Amino acid sequence: MSRVRRGAGRDRDENGRDGGTSGPTFPPDSVHHRRRLPAVSRQVVHGTRARLLIASVGLIFLALVASVLLIREVLIHDVEERVDAELRQTVQELSRLVQGSDPDTGGAYAADPRALFDSFFASNVPNGDEGQYAFVDGVPYLTNAMPPAELTTDARLVAELRGLMQTRRGSVESSAGRAEYLAVPVRAVDPSTGAAINRGVFLVAEFPKGQYDRLDDTMTNVALGLLAVLALAATAAYATAGRVLAPLRETIHTAATIQETNLSSRVPVSGSDDISELARTFNAMLDRVERAVQGQRDFVVDASHELRTPITIVRGHLELMTDDPEDRRETLALVHDELDRMTRLVDDLLLLAKSERADFVQRRSFEVADLMPAVLTKAATLAPRAWMLGPVPPVTLDGDPQRLTQALLQLAENAAQHTPATARITLGAEHTAETVRLWVRDEGEGIAEHEQARIFERFARASGARRRSDGSGLGLSIVQAIAHAHEGWVEVLSEVGRGATFTIVLPATTTSARAPAS
């Protein structure tokens, strides 16, 4: 007794899925885990904010310290140059006086330098940081010094200056601090011997301690002002860091609220800095994850439906099977047919899963002119059609000929399913500078334009198409997976009622090859 129950129990909604059959449910994260994430968010963001603040303030502080020290060294150098200039200027004034005439006698200064010193000290007033000292025959003669420092009482200095025959530049410690001095001998000619003798020494000294003290006071005030500016800059930097890290806080908060059952949350993005770019990248990643999760859900629902239908058919027929030999034969034949269909479905699913592996294709160089005739010979056994071989260029391709044969045969089988027995199916290839195109053309019913992208989805079928087999709807997905494994893609050109052309587009030269998995 013949019983045909295909499609029993397959009430479906408008989306093509069984009514009452829901997709897989995913357990939400635990409450404890969700409550911890915001605290972690605050810790991460605040820690980053503090590190940025410490790093920026530390660098600015080091720069300010280096600047203050550098400025101080420059000012000290200026003080030292000014001291040298004032010492030389005073000595030059004495030299001009020596070259002049004695106002008392109207002639040159006599061998005794006392008149010279009297005239110079009477007409020259030192500044507040300068001291002038005269020595005659090794004995202090005159002093003209504003600072509270009397260098003529320094016995060691007086002894060193006694008998001085050339200019001496030096320094000495005094009660007014370090004194920079310039000592100049005043020589005369011994009338008895005609030799030059030392009759006196003029010493001018600068006491820069006051200038250094004023410089240090100024630098202290500058440093305090810079510290105040640094404090204001740190406050502004802390507020700025909070605004800069706002997208990061939003990213962390969004990541904390996302669950497998709700992947629709996105980070609001504004600006064009690196953190904003991070937020955009995170949103793009969420888009991919959402599509992948949704695809997995649809895949599980569709696969469960495709597998459940033959199981339902087999179970129904086995439950109704009688002891009649003819009934048993028909039932077993139907069971074998449904099991074969499940086997093909499982094999296709395993093939699609394997397409993600690195060793899915085994690359080698082969001739396209050898591949296409071999594929045509195999395709001719699929169905009684007018199988023809179109133009095939003599080009060498780097790829997996077995996988490409599998894809072309899948396209040929798909063409046979949608064409009548008298239709013509043509296989061919084309070659450009950048691509090699392997195509299968049929004269079947064609595909509507709005369905041409959807037919490559798993378990998708063109609506209203005549079916000559119970395929799983995975064939074109397998073709696309093989093309992607070769760094290529699949194109379809079709009009309703005017046939279709499916083309596998591959790079003419492949620069990267997948290594076999170890």
Which helix (H) or strand (E) segment is 492 a member of? strand 489-494
- Residue 429's pLDDT is 93
- The phi, psi pair for 189, rounded to 5°, reads -100, 125
How many whole angstroms from its chain centre is CA 281? 12
Domain boundaries, the chain: 1-20+259-354, 359-507
Structure tokens at 230: 């640094």
Rounded CA gap, 518 and 507, in Å?
26
Asked whether the beta carbons of 208 and 114 are under 8 A apart, the reply is no
pLDDT in tens, 141-153: 888 877 667 888 8
| Residue 50 confidence class, pLDDT cut points 50, 70, 90 | confident
Q: Is the pLDDT of residue 320 over 60?
A: yes
Whether 238 has a pLDDT exceeding 60, the answer reads yes
The pLDDT value given to residue 122: 86
Contact 397, 368 (CB under 8 A): yes
* Residues 174-194, mean pLDDT to the nearest whole number: 79
38-42, 206-210, 256-260, 403-407: range with lowest mean pLDDT? 38-42
Residues in the chain: 518
Contact 245, 49 (CB under 8 A): yes
Q: Average pLDDT, whole number, for the chain?
A: 78
pLDDT score, position 197? 64
Contacts of 304 (CB under 8 A, 6+ apart): 21
- pLDDT above 60 for 330: yes
> Average pLDDT for residues 467-495, to the nearest whole number?
77
Q: What is the pLDDT of residue 147?
A: 64
In this predicted structure, what is the pLDDT of residue 438? 93
| pLDDT classification of 106: cutoffs 50, 70, 90 | low
CB atoms within 10 A of CB 241: 18
Percentage of the chain exceeding pLDDT 70: 78
Q: Which residues pair with 436 in a beta bridge?
A: 431, 506
DSSP string, 330-343: HHHHHHHHHHHHHH
Average of pLDDT values for 364-376?
A: 91
Residues 359-507: name the CATH superfamily: Histidine kinase-like ATPase, C-terminal domain (3.30.565.10)
Tens of pLDDT, residue by residue over 208-233, are: 888 888 999 999 999 999 999 999 98
Whether 31 has a pLDDT exceeding 90, the answer reads no
Residue 471 has a pLDDT of: 53
Of the candidate ranges 83-87, 279-283, 448-452, the one whose mean pLDDT is the lowest: 448-452
The per-residue pLDDT for 366 is 92
Counting beta carbons within 10 angstroms of the beta carbon of residue 427, is it exposed (0 to 12), middle (13 to 18) or buried (19 or more)?
Answer: buried
Residue carrying structure tokens 């195109």: 437
Q: For residues 128 and 210, what is the distance between their CA atoms, to the nearest angstrom?
A: 9
Q: CB count, 10 Å around CB of 285?
A: 10
